[in-house]
């Protein structure tokens, strides 16, 4: 039986959005307590995640990139980057799109939003770990631990 505190934490995770469940691999990470690695943070507020999704759809909807819809699950704190599972034909796929949004609220020119595709969440996770390693410093650690205490 799983300890109660893990169950309570998992209950607060955003695991579905707009009638779509997040893939098992992502839910596996969240069930193990994954909240993100600086600079990436998991989205757990449905209205915030839906806002990222709407903006992505507005910018990509004109065909500027091959992906038209995503189910957002994380954002980067230092940029306007969002990571989301590609939604194709109304179905959530395991493929992850990391897009840099412009927040224009309208279809973008070809090549925007910029977009990097990963075959799955584990591939994205490895890239997020590598990016987090670049942030690892005594100052960042102090910020993290200070925020835990707040």
How many separate domains does the chain show? 1
| Proportion of the chain above pLDDT 90, given as a percent | 71
**Range(s) of the domain holding residue 28:** 4-149
Whole-angstrom distance, CA of residue 106 vs CA of residue 102: 9
* 8 A C-beta contact, residue 81 and residue 102: no
* 8 A C-beta contact, residue 94 and residue 23: yes
Q: Which residue has the higher pLDDT, 143 or 1?
A: 143
Residues 69-105 have pLDDT tens digits of: 999 999 999 899 999 999 999 999 999 999 999 999 9
Spatial CB neighbours of 130, under 8 Å, sequence gap ≥ 6: none
DSSP letter (8 states) at residue 108: P
Residue-averaged pLDDT of the chain? 89
Whole-angstrom distance, CA of residue 141 vs CA of residue 35: 16
Residues 115-135 have pLDDT tens digits of: 999 999 999 999 999 998 987
């Amino acid at each position: 039986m799983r300890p109660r505190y893990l169950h309570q934490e998992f209950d607060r995770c955003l695991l579905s959005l707009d009638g779509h469940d997040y893939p098992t691999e992502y839910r596996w990470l969240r069930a193990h307590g994954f909240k993100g690695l600086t600079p990436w943070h998991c989205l757990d507020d449905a209205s915030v995640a839906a806002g990222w999704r709407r903006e992505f759809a507005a910018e990509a909807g004109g065909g500027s990139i091959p992906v038209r819809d995503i189910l957002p699950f994380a954002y980067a704190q230092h940029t306007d980057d969002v990571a989301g599972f590609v939604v194709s034909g109304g179905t959530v796929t395991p493929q992850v799109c990391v897009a840099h949004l412009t927040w224009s609220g309208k279809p973008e020119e070809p090549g925007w939003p910029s977009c990097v595709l990963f075959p799955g969440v584990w591939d994205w996770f490895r890239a997020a770990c590598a990016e987090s390693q670049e942030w690892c410093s005594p100052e960042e650690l102090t910020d993290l631990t200070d925020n835990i205490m707040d």
